[in-house]
C-alpha cells in the first residue's frame, strides 16, 4: 500500500513494494530534506559561516584601542580554536593552500606560545585575519568533505 505518511519533523514519501514481494529491505524511503534513500543520507556540503562570523566580529572589536588585556586573551583562545577547526575543515575538503593559511592563523593566535608584537602590527594582522576568515566562507562552502564519502 503506497501512500503518504507524515511525521511531526519531516514529511516522508514511503513507497512499499508490491504485495508479492516479501523482503522488507526493498522498501524505498525518500526524505526530501536529506535526499535519504534506503537509510543512507546524502547531505550537501556542511555550511560553515558561523565560526568565521564570530572570529571576524571579535577581530573587528579588537581594533578598538580601549579594550582590556583580558579581551585579547579571550580573542587568542577563540581565534585559535576557530582557525584550528577551519584548518581541519580545509584539510577534509582537500584545500591544501587554505590548510596552510588557516593553520598559520591558528598558530599566530595560539594562547600557549604567545607572539609578542606591537599594537600597530597586530592591527594589520587582525585586518588580514578578518579578510581570511570572511573569504574562507566562500572557499570552504563549495568543497565537499572527502572524509565523509562512503562510496
| Rounded average pLDDT per 10-residue block, the chain, 151 residues | 54 54 50 47 63 94 93 95 94 93 95 89 95 91 58 41
Collapsed DSSP state (helix, strand, coil) of residue 137: helix
The residues, ordered by sequence, that sit 6+ positions from 1 with a Cβ below 8 Å of its Cβ are 16
Residue 6, Ramachandran bin (φ over 0: left; ψ between -120 and 50: alpha; else beta): beta
Residue-number span of the structural domain to which 72 is assigned: 50-146
Give the other-Cβ count within 10 Å of 132's Cβ.
21
pLDDT the model gives residue 76: 95
Give the other-Cβ count within 10 Å of 36's Cβ.
16
C-alpha to C-alpha distance for 140 and 50, rounded to whole angstroms: 12
Number of domains in the chain: 2
Q: Concatenated DSSP letters for 66-102?
A: T--HHHHHHHHHHHHHHHHHHHHHHHHTT-HHHHHHH
| Helix (H) / strand (E) containing 65 | none
Q: Is residue 45 part of a domain?
A: no
Q: Are residues 32 and 90 in the same domain?
A: no
Residue pair 83/136 in contact by the 8 Å Cβ criterion: no
Q: Is the pTM of this model over 0.75?
A: no
Q: Are residues 126 and 63 in the same domain?
A: yes
Q: Are residues 56 and 115 in the same domain?
A: yes
Q: Is residue 42 part of a domain?
A: no
Q: Is residue 110 part of a domain?
A: yes
Q: Is residue 136 part of a domain?
A: yes
Residue pair 52/137 in contact by the 8 Å Cβ criterion: yes
Amino acid at each position: 500500500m503506497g501512500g503518504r505518511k507524515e511525521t511531526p519533523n519531516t514529511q516522508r514519501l514511503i513507497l512499499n513494494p508490491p504485495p508479492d514481494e516479501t523482503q522488507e529491505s526493498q522498501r524505498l524511503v525518500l526524505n526530501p530534506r536529506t535526499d535519504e534513500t534506503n537509510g543512507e543520507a546524502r547531505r550537501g556540503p556542511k555550511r560553515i559561516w558561523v565560526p568565521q562570523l564570530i572570529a571576524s566580529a571579535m577581530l573587528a572589536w579588537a581594533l578598538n584601542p580601549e579594550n582590556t588585556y583580558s579581551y585579547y586573551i579571550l580573542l587568542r583562545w577563540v581565534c585559535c580554536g576557530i582557525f584550528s577547526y577551519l584548518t581541519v575543515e580545509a584539510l577534509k575538503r582537500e584545500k591544501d593552500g587554505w590548510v596552510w593559511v588557516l593553520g598559520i592563523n591558528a598558530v599566530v593566535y595560539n594562547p600557549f606560545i604567545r607572539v609578542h608584537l606591537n599594537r600597530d602590527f597586530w592591527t594589520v594582522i587582525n585586518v588580514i585575519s578578518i579578510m581570511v576568515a570572511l573569504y574562507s566562507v566562500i572557499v570552504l562552502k563549495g568543497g565537499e568533505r572527502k572524509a565523509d564519502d562512503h562510496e
